[in-house]
Every structure is written in structure tokens, then in C-alpha cells.
Chain A
Amino acid sequence: MKRIPPLVAKELTELRRSPSIFLPAVLTGAAAILYPFIIAIIVPYFAGERLSDSGDFELATQMFRSQPEARGLTPEGAIQAYIFEYALVLMVGLTTVTGSMAVAAHSVIGEKQARTLEPLLATPVTTFELLAAKVLGAALPGIALMVGCFTIYVGAVAIFAEPGVWFMMLTPRSLALVFVMGPLAALLGLQLAVCASSRVNDARSAQQLGALIIVLPIAALQIAQFVGGVVLTAGIILGIALLLCAGNVVLMSIAIRLFDRESILTRWK
């Protein structure tokens, strides 16, 4: 375990010197922040109508206002809170995963292509330490990006939405979503990408594989929420978080088995 911190520090130092790697993630984060504002603020503003004038959100409003924290909101504020809170899933998922995936997918392949892997494997570093460092080294910037996006998001909600809506972004449920489920989902995706990175020869394949497996469920969860199929209660979030924890443990043990030092050293050119 003691070899993980120097390797993570090395990963972060390398990333600091190539910030352009995060450009796609920053753009994704910006898009994920912007789209609920388009729905909840910009379109109603230009259309000259309030969301609460339409009956489309009535059920959602009722569901949402049943929460004690939301009772003080205006009908318009409740709808906005509903949109902004549910959009968090996408923002958290997409920014963290896209922010980290490129880094993770490139991790093992990048070392191999730069011929830096063999000297590294010649040290006492274990496969667990190496993979854990790769995953953490990719996850930490992704999580930092996500926290940054979340801060901007809450700030923008405080400025542009109805009074009190921003506070709904800071309920235990939202915070658990952002600070527990988001990082755990990101770790899962990253482990998938690192697994793929250990087995395939180009970073793009690893990235696509990892992203496909993690982004699809996030998108599905988002859609299910909007159509009312799933309500992310604190209990559901906790359950998903536990599943993600278990998934991360299982995936790390699979990753260690998949990481075949010998074939990486002898077959990859």
C-alpha cells in the first residue's frame, strides 16, 4: 500500500503538465450544467411562460413538494428544484466519468507505449498498488472537476432560479449523490477502463469500453427519473452506493487477475 501515494503523485504531476486532456470533460461538464438551465430558466424566459403554468409538471411538483425541505418553495421553484436536482445525476456521472476515463484508459497503455512500464514493473510495486494508483490518479482529477462543476451549478441555481431552490441542491440526498454515488460510480468506470487498458492495445478501445459500460446506466437512470420510473430516495442512493462499493471490490480483484505482466511486457509492441 505504501507505494500507492508516490504513484498517484506521479500520475497527478503528469496530468498537471497536460491539462488539455481534460478539455472534453470540461466541455461535457459545461453542457451538463447548461442543459437543466435551458429547460428550467432559459426556455420559459424566452417563451414568456412559467413552467408552473403548464400541467406537464404537476405530478412531479406534487411528488417533489411532498419532501419537507421543498414545502416552502413556490410552485415554479418546486419544478425548477425538481429539474435541477434530477439533472445532478447526469452532471455528476458525466463529468466524473468523462473527466477520468481518458486518463484511466490511457494509463497502462500510455506507460507501455512510452516504454515506462518495464522499469516500473522492475520495482517491488505490486499489481494491486499499480492498478490502485492508476485508478486513484485518474479518479481524483475527475472528482475534483465534478466538485467544481457542482459548485458552479449550485451557484448558478442560487443566482438564476427561484429563491430557495439552491438549498434543495444541498439536501443529504443530493450531497450523497454528489459525494458518495458519483465517486463510487466513477471508480467503477475507471476500473473497467484500467482493466480494458491492461488487455487492449490502444487507449481509444479502453476508453470506449469503460465509458459504454458506465455511461449507459447513468443515462438510463436519468431517463427513468424524468419519466417517474425511479425516485432516488436516500435509501435507494445508499443501496446503489453499497452495490457500487461491492462492485469496486470485485472489479479490483478481476483487474489484478487480468493484468498480465508477462504478456504486457512480451507481446505488446
Chain B
Amino acid sequence: MLRVRPESTLTASRLTRRFDTRLAVDDVSFELVPGEIFALLGPNGAGKTTTLRMLGGLIHPTSGSVLLNHQTVTAATASRLRASIGFLTETPGLWERLTVRQNLTVYARLHSVASPALAVDRMLDLFGMSDRARDPAGELSKGLKQRVALARTLLHDPSIVLLDEPTAGLDPQSAHDVRDLVLRLRDERRAVLLSTHNLDEVDRVADRVAVLRTRLVALDTPAALRTRLFGRRIRIELGHDAASHVSMLRASGINDVTMHGAVISVALNEHITVAGLVRRLIESGAAINAVIPEERSLEDVYLRLLEAPE
């Protein structure tokens, strides 16, 4: 059983979901705190959408539980607790014959927003859609539909925001706008859970990352995952060929060293520090142009995690 932190706003505790004989999600636990962006990664069919649906109270776990603001989601409480969640589904799901304003107004009223018209105006303004408010949703581009869907997700000022593939199919500018919005949500102290295949996006915004393949494969900050899988490395750019210096380093017992022309890459550990390395190289006559921490991409981390047998 996951121990629930007092500040936790959403807790998934040993979530398991079966569909007949197929195990879609197995024993998944994590929690979200206000002001955190939590990314859920995983290949297709890994159980991300099922997990999101369980968190959003749309489907119930076969075993395990979901706590929203310390209250367990059950069939009896789901309807009430869903009020604190903004759920962006995989597709915008707008009523295409209704105008943008009508779409948002229906949802504002479903969420019992105090002043639906004001809330809709605020969202239209926030998402730059005021001039398209009277257009039928069916006439909007994919990017604009996604903006309306995001506006709908935030209409009722939810403390927890679940975003399923928020930038899928969007052009770079729209995707950038969505990322800015996600960061703004964090600044507003909302808990954001982001399910996506876009690793670059995750790298830019996520505070913590969970990799899901039916079970949780890993859960940590991107930096900690990098360190755990690839260690810490440093890249040193010399003003000349590095071969002799690499030989020197290896002779002194530093074995994890690679070289490409004038560039040396060295794995760091508790015995090998940046300062120590630089000192040795200078002492051996190296002209150092730059010392840069070497960072593996999140894609490398993700692929390495998924390489492991199930």
C-alpha cells in the first residue's frame, strides 16, 4: 500500500485493471502533488489511457484504488469527485454542429460553474478563440479543436488536470502553446498528469516521469533516470587531437573513456570528479576549450528502459 503524503492531491494505489483475461494495468502506484507535472510514458497498449480513465473515475480498477484529494473514488463518489478533475481526452470530442461557445457553455453548466458566460469568455480569451466563438466546432482545424478541448478541460478551474496526448497531431506552434499552458498550470499549483508519446515535450516540462508497460517500469525525475541508466558523463573539448590524453587517462585507471577527434567523453563517479579530470588533463599538457556535462536524451532513457525484458 502506498503511503499517502499529506500534500498529495491524486494517489494511485496498486491500480490493476483487467479486461476479461487481458491485463491492461498491473499494480501501478504513484501520486501527484499540487504544482507538479507528471508524465506517463509508454508504448501503444501499455495501459496509459486505461490508467487515466481510472484516475478520472471513468472506469473502475479491478483492484487497487484512486484517491482524489484524499477521498477514494468509488461508483458512489465518482460523479462528485470528477468535479475536481479536468480531463482532456485523446480526441477533442467536440459537438461539431454546435458553435465553440455553445460547446463550452454546455460544459460550464454541467460543471455548475457560477457564471457560465463569464467563464466561457475567460477561456475563449485565454486560448485566443474569441474571434471563432460563433463558428461551428466542425469547421475548426485540428489544432483549434484541441485548443477548444483544452479550454473545456479548464473551464471549471480543476485542481487536477489529466491530459491524454495533448499535442498529438498539432503543428509546432500549437504544440508550443500547449506546452506553455502546461507550465502555466504548474505555476497555478495544479497537479498535471500528461500522457504522451512526445519525449521531447516531456523533457521540457515534466518534473517526474513514469514509464508504463502494463506495470510501472520506472518512476523518477528525468535527471535521476538518466543518471541511473547511463551514469553521469562529461564531455571535454580539446584544442588538439585527444589520443595521447585518452591513453593517459586509461593508464591512470579511468576506463570508461571514449574519444572522437578532439573530444573526450568520460563517465563520472564518486572517484572521478570534473575538477580532478581537468587537473590531470592540464597537467598532461592538454589545451581545454570546453567542459560540458553530457546529457543523454530522454528518448535514450525510454528506449533503454523498454529494452529490458517484461
Contact = CB atoms under 8 A, between A and B. Distances in A.
B95 A114 contact: yes
B56 interface: yes
A208 interface: no
B59 A3 contact: no
Nearest to A9: B106
Contacts of B227: none
A116 B107 contact: no
Contacts of A269: none
A122 B95 contact: no
B95 A124 contact: no
A115 B93 contact: yes
A8 to B, nearest CB: 10
A122 B106 contact: no
Given A116-B94, A265-B58, A124 B110 contact: yes
B19 A119 contact: no
Given A124-B79, A261-B58, A265-B53, A13 B102 contact: yes
Given A3-B109, A119-B152, A265-B53, A17 B97 contact: yes
B83 A114 contact: no
A124 B80 contact: yes
B93 A119 contact: yes
B58 A118 contact: yes
Interface residues of A, number: 28
Contacts of B136: 17
B79 A119 contact: no
A6 interface: yes
A interface: dominant SS: helix
Contact of A6 (B50, B80, B82, B110): B110
Contact of A115 (B60, B82, B91, B112): B91
B184 to A, nearest CB: 21
A62 B142 CA distance: 69
A6 B19 contact: no
B59 A262 contact: yes
A125 interface: yes
Interface in B201-241: none
Given A119-B89, A122-B56, A123-B82, A6 B109 contact: yes
- Chain B residues touching A, range: 20 to 34
Q: Is the interface of B mostly helix, strand, loop or mixed?
A: mixed
A14 B58 contact: no
Contacts of B85: 122
Interface string A197-213: 00000000000000000
Contacts of A125: 79, 110
Contacts of B89: 115, 118-119, 122
Contacts of A257: none
B302 interface: no
A10 B106 contact: yes
Contacts, number: 81
Interface string B22-41: 00000000000000000000
A120 B109 CA distance: 12
Interface string A40-70: 0000000000000000000000000000000
B111 A123 contact: yes
A122 B154 CA distance: 13
A20 interface: no
A7 interface: yes
Given A17-B97, A125-B110, A261-B59, A10 B102 contact: yes
B123 interface: no
Most chain A CB inside 10 Å of its own CB: which residue of B83, B96, B107: B107
A6 B102 CA distance: 10
Interface of B: 19, 50, 53, 56, 58-60, 79-80, 82-83, 85, 87, 89-91, 93-98, 102, 105-107, 109-112, 136, 149, 152
The 10 A-B pairs with the shortest beta carbon distances in the complex, nearest first, are A6-B109, A122-B87, A17-B97, A119-B93, A123-B110, A115-B91, A116-B93, A118-B89, A262-B59, A10-B106
7 contacts: A6-B106, A9-B106, A10-B102, A122-B82, A265-B58, A265-B59, A266-B53
Given A5-B109, A120-B93, A265-B53, 17 more contacts: A6-B105, A9-B106, A13-B98, A116-B93, A116-B95, A118-B58, A121-B58, A122-B85, A123-B107, A123-B111, A125-B79, A126-B79, A261-B59, A262-B58, A262-B60, A266-B19, A266-B53
